[in-house]
A = this chain, B = another copy of it.
């Protein structure tokens, strides 16, 4: 069968395996789409790196996906979306979708008291990308941000269910709890893996906005609008990473609930 533009895969990249939260949602919401994931595990984490490095890495990651003839790129890393989204949109012709806007929009929809919290990496917080996006959707909102740089290594260590995860969250969210937010954006694709911990620390009344979930909805909208949706059928999945394929395979299998094949790419 000839490969049409419609049945080309969707490309997704992240600094490590946090972007699998986006993949999981794409699989659920768009079961007919092929996906190619690239995780830059050789340079993870991004959230503690500079704007310049994050842009350079993001362009290189997009090139990896373009070699796979993707029809769209999902920037499933908030640090990359914060600093590199505009660069990528200007540089490439295919649709490029980031994780920031969909999460910001959802938060403004669910918040009743117009006090919204954002937890993210240092890079994302320092970029003010969520602040700008939230203000775009509702300029009357008051925003409270907190960088949580240790959450990514904590999740990558596989410690999301340990007592120390609660201790760390308590330390980071002291101020956030006092701020009276009723919606909290998980502004890093690793953080949905800490949802139970965050619920425990923030209390049941605070709505946790999972940007992974929201971005999948946005992908669906753009595919329809651009006439790029795949025909029915079961999508195929490929996973490319830049380091430690076996480690990734074990974690991804656990997280996605199915065995996957992982390919090592480090020719950049």
Q: Which residues of A come within 8 Å of B, CB atoms? A: 41-45, 48-50, 52-53, 56, 149-150, 152-154, 156-157, 159, 162-164, 167-168, 171, 242-244, 266
Chain B residues with CB below 8 A from A43, complex form: 42-43
Chain B residues whose CB sits within 8 angstroms of the CB of A242 once the complex forms: 53
Question: Does the CB pair A244–B167 fall under 8 Å?
Answer: no
Task: Contacts A48-B156, A164-B168, A167-B167 known; list 13 others, CB within 8 Å.
Answer: A42-B53, A49-B244, A50-B244, A52-B266, A53-B242, A53-B244, A53-B266, A150-B150, A150-B153, A150-B159, A153-B153, A162-B171, A164-B167
- Give complex CA distance A52, B167 in Å: 35
Q: In the complex, which residue of chain B has the Cβ closest to the Cβ of A150?
A: B153
- How many copies of this protein are present in the complex? 2
In the assembled complex, the CB of A195 is this many whole angstroms from the nearest CB of chain B, namely: 20
User: Which 6 residue pairs across A and B have the least CB separation, nearest first?
Assistant: A153-B153, A53-B243, A50-B244, A164-B171, A42-B53, A167-B167
Expressed in whole angstroms, the Cα–Cα distance for A41 and B53 within the complex equals: 10
A41, A42, A156 — most chain B CB neighbours (10 Å): A42
- Return the chain B residue nearest A167 by Cβ: B167
- The answer to whether A49 and B154 touch across the interface, beta carbons within 8 angstroms, is no
Q: Complex Cα distance A53/B266, Å?
A: 9
- Enumerate chain B residues within 8 angstroms of A52, measured Cβ to Cβ: 243, 266
B167:A50 contact, CB within 8 angstroms: no
The closest CB in chain B to the CB of A49 belongs to B243
Question: Which residue of B has the minimal Cβ distance to A45?
Answer: B153
| Assembly CA distance A159 to B48 (angstroms) | 14
Smallest beta-carbon distance A171→chain B, Å: 5
Q: Closest Cβ of chain B: how far from A15's Cβ, in Å?
A: 11
Are the C-beta atoms of B164 and A153 separated by less than 8 Å? no
> Inside 8 A of A149's CB, which chain B residues have their CB?
153, 157
Q: What is the distance, in angstroms, from A151's C-beta to the closest C-beta of chain B?
A: 10
Residues of B within 8 A of A41 (CB): 49
How distant is the Cα of A44 from the Cα of B159 in the complex, in angstroms?
20
Residues on B with C-beta less than 8 A from A162 are 171
- Contacting pair A50 B243 (CB below 8 A): yes
Closest Cβ–Cβ distance, residue A186 to chain B (whole Å):
19
Taken together as a complex, chains A and B put the C-alpha atoms of A164 and B41 apart, in Å, by 26
Q: Which has the most chain B C-beta neighbours within 10 Å: A50, A163, A168, A242?
A: A50
- Bound complex: CA A50 to CA B48 (Å): 20
| Interface pairs (27), CB distance under 8 Å | A42-B43, A42-B49, A43-B43, A48-B153, A48-B156, A49-B243, A49-B244, A50-B243, A52-B243, A52-B266, A53-B243, A53-B244, A53-B266, A56-B266, A149-B153, A149-B157, A150-B150, A150-B153, A150-B154, A150-B157, A150-B159, A152-B153, A153-B153, A162-B171, A164-B168, A164-B171, A167-B167
